[in-house]
Amino acid sequence: MKTLIKIIIIFLVISAASTILYNNTDIVFGKIDFFSKHGWIFLFSIALFPRLTLLISGLLIGSIEFGGLLWWLGFFFAPRILVATLATVAYWNSNQLLVVFAWLIALGGESSEKFVITRRMRSAPHKFNSYEGTTIDAEYKVKE
C-alpha cells in the first residue's frame, strides 16, 4: 500500500510542477508521441543503460537533445534523472504515463544505485586496520 501512495504522490507532484512550468514560464512541452520517434528497444535500453544510450543516441544518432552544462552534469552524476527530465519536456503532453514511469525509474534507480554503492564500500576490505589502542612490538635486524 505504501508503494501505491508513493506512486500517486510522485504523479501529483510531477503533474503540478509541469502545469506550473507550462502556464507560468516560456517552457514549451513537446507534442510528439514517443513511439513515433523511438521504439521499445530504445525504451528498455534507456531504462537499463542510461549513460550508454544517451551517449550513442545523442552524440552519434542525434535522436535526443544533447549538450549543455546541465546535460553533462546530469550525464555524469544522475543520468536517470536527466532522462526523466528530457522525457518530461519532450513527451509530457502526449505520453504522461510514460513520463511518470520515467520519474519512478529515475528516483528508484538513483536511490538504489547509491544504496548499493554505499553498502559495498562498507563491506569492502579496508586498506589499513586500526587496532584502537593496542601496540604491536616487533624487532628488526639490519642485514650487513
User: Is residue 136 in a domain?
Assistant: no
Q: What are phi and psi of 142, to 5 degrees?
A: -90, 125
85 is a domain residue = yes
More confident residue, 75 or 66: 75
C-alpha cell at 35: 513511439
Residue 92 in any domain: the answer is yes
Q: What's the pLDDT score for residue 3?
A: 67
Query: Please, what is the average pLDDT of the chain?
Result: 76
Tell me if 129 sits within 8 A of 66, measured CB to CB: no
Q: For the chain, how many structural domains are there in total?
A: 1
Question: Does 132 reside within a domain?
Answer: no
* pLDDT value of position 38: 81
Spatial separation of the C-alpha atoms in residues 33 and 38, rounded to whole Å: 9
Domain assignment present for residue 140? The answer is: no
C-alpha cell at 33: 508521441
Domain that holds residue 40: 2-123
Task: Classify residue 133: in a domain, yes or no.
Answer: no
pTM for this predicted structure: 0.61
More confident residue, 14 or 51: 51
The number of helices, as runs of H, and strands, as runs of E, in the chain is 7, 0
Q: What is the pLDDT of residue 62?
A: 61
Q: Does the residue 139 lie in any domain?
A: no
- Structure confidence at residue 24 as a pLDDT band (50, 70, 90): confident
The verdict on residue 13 lying in a domain is yes
